[in-house]
Amino acid sequence: LKARGSNWAGRSIMPGAHGSGCGCKDEQEFLGVQQSLLPWIDVDNVVALNEDIPNSGRSLFRPYELRLDDSKLVESPEGDQELLVLVPFTSPVKLTALTVIGGDGGTAPSRVSLYINREDIDFSSVADIAPTQELDLVEDFHGAVQLPTRAAKFINVTHLALLFPASFGQERSRIHWIGLWGVGSEHKRQAVVTVYESVPNAADHKVDDKAAPMQDAA
């Protein structure tokens, strides 16, 4: 595994590198009563809209022990920070948390908007859809931070869209790994074929920050 940040000077501990104080956790310690939802993700049909390299989106979803492989990434084009990642599940899941490993040097996404069970969502429609939840992200280079969802809003999820509208200051966004945590089910779903607008139109999609109030999970 390469240590992310090797091209950036002035850091005593490189992002993504193992070592004393690196922040890494054992997967069982990390999950607690949750589980990785990777077995329920239809990885072959994951789509990342506005990705610079075609079909790179599915590489974001891989086992926890492979999360620091920096050769796997999705990046937006230079001068455009937005990415929209569309994740189908093979059966309904309850989503309780997510983890995002972003790029270094200010390329990590700074925010994510989550939308559930909208298989028609793309850059032409996202501005007209209220997100299920919005989360501020942190620059997490080890996958050590779980961001909890309002779990009562994320029951019976068959499709998840993640809109990353901006980075931490750079002109593009880069993501190396996404971890989704929760509880899976055995009920299989049927696939739906959808055609997406893959490139954002700046005039179309300003995301509404005023989502409806949400109830926390009991």
**In 17-82, beta strands by DSSP E:** 35-36, 47-49, 74-75
Give the HSE-up count for residue 1: Cα atoms under 13 Å, Cβ half-sphere. 17
For 137, which DSSP code?
-
* pLDDT confidence bin for 20, thresholds 50/70/90: very low
* pLDDT confidence bin for 210, thresholds 50/70/90: very low
Global pTM?
A: 0.74
**Whole-number Å distance between alpha carbons of 111 and 82:** 10
What pLDDT sits at residue 34? 81
For residue range 168-199, what is the model confidence (pLDDT) as tens digits? Answer: 999 999 999 999 999 998 876 554 555 555 56
* pLDDT confidence bin for 205, thresholds 50/70/90: very low
Q: What are phi and psi of 191, to 5 degrees?
A: -70, 150
For residue range 62-96, what is the model confidence (pLDDT) as tens digits? Answer: 999 999 999 999 999 999 999 999 999 999 999 99
